[in-house]
Copies of this chain bind each other. A is one copy, B any other.
């Protein structure tokens, strides 16, 4: 079986997000002051082959822990969709 994974990796809520703050400021300059609390992270898509969904989940979780997310500063979440051949 093959699955596509959609992964979101965001700065931990307690952490300051300087990039997000800067973009929030720019919103005001664009006349979009109703937009606040901008926080910026990574969106990653990938394909994973596995014998079933739970194995696919375990592999994506391992990839997040080992490579994609820095767990000291970031949190991650993901969803899986089966790819119909």
Q: Within 8 Å of chain B (Cβ to Cβ): is A73?
A: no
With both chains docked as a complex, state the minimum distance between the C-beta of A41 and any C-beta of chain B, in angstroms.
5
Q: Across the interface, do A41 and B41 meet the contact criterion of CB distance under 8 Å?
A: no
Q: Within 8 Å of chain B (Cβ to Cβ): is A62?
A: yes
How many A residues face the partner with a CB closer than 8 A?
A: 35
Q: Across the interface, do B46 and A43 meet the contact criterion of CB distance under 8 Å?
A: no
Q: Across the interface, do B9 and A63 meet the contact criterion of CB distance under 8 Å?
A: no
Query: Using Cβ atoms and an 8 Å threshold, which residues of chain B touch A12?
Result: none
Choose one: B9, B39, B60, B67; the contact of A46 (CB below 8 Å). B39
Choose one: B39, B59, B63, B68; the contact of A44 (CB below 8 Å). B39
Choose one: B6, B23, B34, B60; the contact of A68 (CB below 8 Å). B23
Q: Within 8 Å of chain B (Cβ to Cβ): is A47?
A: yes
